Structures are given as C-alpha cells and as structure tokens.
Amino acid sequence: MDPSAYPIQTLDLDFQGEPGVIAAFLVRTSAGPVLVESGPDSTFAALAAALRRAGVEPAEVRHVLLTHIHLDHAGAAWRLASLGAEVHVHPAGAPHLQDPAKLLASARKIYQEQMDPLWGALEPIPAERIRVLADGEVLHFGDVAIEALFTPGHAIHHVAYRLDGAVFTGDVGGVRIDGGPAVAPCPPPDIDLELWSASLDRIRAVRPQVLYLTHFGPFADAAEHLDGVERSLRGLSAWVLERMRAGDAESELVTRLDAYARGYLDGVSGREGLARSYQLANPAFMSAAGLARYWRKAHPDALASS
C-alpha cells in the first residue's frame, strides 16, 4: 500500500547535518497530533522546525510514543514533556526517563567527548508525564487506534506500534537508508538473537503493509524488508562469532566490521558516502560490542567450539 494512504508524515531530523538518518513521525488524529519518536535532544530545533512546517506547534503535541529509550529515539522526549506532552514507554524504560542518571553515565562512558555534540542534554521527565504501556494495549487518539507490541531483541524495553497496516518498527525493524540494504543495529547491552527473531515474527504476524523505520522512513516491501533484517542479524552475528573464535580482540572486530560495512554499502548504492549515513545511524563499534557481548553472555560455549 502507498504510505500516503496513512495519516503519517515523516519528519527528517537532519542528525549531524545529514538528511535521512533519524526520523520522527507525525500522526494526525481527530484528537490532535501524536508523535512517534522524539529523536535526540541535539535535533530538537530541527524537530520543532519540521513540526511547524507541517502546521503543528511543538506544544500542540500531546502524546509522544517511544519505541525505546536509546538517545537517538527518545533523547528529546523531556522537552516535549515540559511542553505538556504525555510520553508513552515500555515499563522497563520508564524509570530511566524519570531518573536518567544511569542512562547518561552509560552513554557518556561510550561516547566520551562526543556525548554532547551527538545527543545534547537529557533531563528527568516527571512521573505524571510518563505513561507506562502494556503489551498489546490499544491506544485511542480520537479516530486513530495504535497498538503497542512489545518487541525485545534490540533492547529489552523495545515497543513497535501498529496503526492499521502500518508498523513503526523502531530499531527491531533495522536500518535502511537511501537505497541501501536492511541492516540490524546491535548495540550493547541487550542484544538477543532469539528474542529479536521472535519479535520479527510478531511483526510479520500482523501482516504489515508499510514499515516506518526511524532510520529511515517508510517502506512498502514489508515482508522482504523483515527478511533482510533477519539475514543481516544472522550474518553479522555469525561473522562476529567467527572472528571471536579466531582470537580477534574487540578493537580488531570494530576495525574489521567497519571496513566490511563501508565496502558493502558503497558497493550497493549509487550514492557516494552512503556508509556515513549508516555509520551515523548504526556505528560499527556499537554492533561489534553488542554482538561480542551477546556471544560471551548467552552462548559462551559457542566461543570454544571449533
């Protein structure tokens, strides 16, 4: 189905000055505008400008639906909450929005001096502005009904949202940018291949006609896309396992994975520099770390196998 059949508008947040990397989605309802994803705080000015171009003032957004609390998806939610929005989130993510100290400390350890330029500020959201979701719950916003689907694998607190035949996939639906392939983003600490595969099956079960990816935009080839995400997940995880068995240190994994991704992505697209967009959405060092942790934690026996 043509994505234009749905009351959904893709808002490009121009992350780090690059178009087509991080999206938020404006859903128009008879009860007012609803936003799926907030993007990071560093792109809030771009979000506000995109909303205004769509005829919506940021303070008119009364509901923000987060797929998960990673900063590229949820970092600006506190700003919308401060304007009066209610923020909908998985129960495991809610405490970190109310008190983001642990989330901030973890992110700063990873990103160090790049933390503020990449993500901006993160402030607590008052408990009364946070609405905890239930799995399978249907949210009603005037004439629009949106179902919350708990979909772990990328993160334990991950939620996909279904609006009729459209599904907002967050990161469990992968990254796919400007003609490139579907790629599974695998940051630590929650990567779980078995749960992720089950979550992809859950999305398949609702027979989506259009997938809305935070990285980036709508895709109408839903079945093929989900199969591509699963192939990527299996392929990347097997590649990391093979290199770990060969004795590669994590730093070596990052270098090798980055080179592999750059060569492949530039080879399948006519657009120069596509790898930069993918790296902004899905840094190789994060996937190397996340998949290495998965094998060490979930299947240490596999590392010893010949």
pLDDT in tens, 277-305: 898 999 988 999 999 999 999 999 999 85
Q: How many other CB atoms sit within 10 Å of the CB of residue 124? A: 14
What is the reported pTM?
0.94
35 three-state secondary structure: strand
Q: What is the average per-residue pLDDT within 199-215?
A: 98
Label residue 138 exposed, middle or buried (CB < 10 Å: 0-12, 13-18, 19+): exposed
Measured over the CA atoms of residue 81, residue 85, residue 91 and residue 92, the dihedral's sign is negative
CATH topology of domain 3-231: Metallo-beta-lactamase; Chain A (3.60.15)
For 180, residues 6+ apart whose C-beta sits below 8 A from its C-beta are 265, 268, 269, 274, 277, 278
| Residue whose entry in the numeric block shows the structure tokens 């946070």 | 130
For residue 205, the model assigns a pLDDT of 98
192 three-state secondary structure: coil
| Chain centre distance of CA 32 | 24
Q: What is the average per-residue pLDDT within 213-232?
A: 97
For 106, residues 6+ apart whose C-beta sits below 8 A from its C-beta are none
Label residue 270 exposed, middle or buried (CB < 10 Å: 0-12, 13-18, 19+): exposed
Q: In the chain, where does the domain assigned CATH 3.60.15.10 lie? A: 3-231
Q: How confident is the model at residue 177 (pLDDT cuts 50, 70, 90)?
A: very high
For residue 61, the model assigns a pLDDT of 98
* CB of 50 closer than 8 Å to CB of 12: yes
pLDDT in tens, 4-48: 778 999 999 999 999 999 999 999 999 999 999 999 999 999 999
The CA distance from 190 to 12, in Å, is 27
For residue 263, the model assigns a pLDDT of 67
pLDDT in tens, 95-150: 999 999 988 888 888 888 888 899 999 999 999 999 999 999 999 999 999 999 99
Q: How many other CB atoms sit within 10 Å of the CB of residue 141? A: 19
